[in-house]
Structure 1
Amino acid sequence: MVLHNFAVGLSEEILVRGVILKELKKIFNVYYSIVIDALIFAFVFHANDNIEINLFIRFPLGLILGLIATRAKSIHPCVLLHWSYNIAVVLI
């Protein structure tokens, strides 16, 4: 469970914050990029999940992760937060 959730968090962060957010910042300003990135994270990557959970939990989580990635200039803290979130969801 721990390794699986780490792999999920790592792979999503590499793709969403490491690739998509980086490319969005080439087109839009940083704040629009973070919002679009968070929307993609919540409603594309989790399209089969409950829309309320995506709107009220995953979208804000995507905003936070985008801000962290931008300020830290790294996805490493995002991977750790994402991993922690995934573990918490499993335990609850």
Structure 2
Amino acid sequence: MGNIEQLIMNIIMFLFSKHRRLVFTAFNQSNYYDAVNKLKSHGISYRSRITSHDTGTVGSGRNENSQYDIYVKKDEVYLAEKAINS
């Protein structure tokens, strides 16, 4: 997806999603999945945004230049932070 399309999708997701508060950012899959599993185990809903900073390398799966952002509902920020840091 091009930069313009990605920007438009990010704006739409922000406007129409209940999950607007950024609570966690990771730069590798392992940390991202650890945080997601903790949120799931505590029953906290979330939305993810994964941004790939393509370096032109060829390979399968996500590269190490990806950014993983996790968003939660405004009233669940404290619970999400507590769960992720447990």
TM-score, L = length of structure 1 = 0.30
Select the structure that is richer in helix. 1
TM-score, L = length of structure 2 = 0.31
Select the structure that is richer in strand. 2
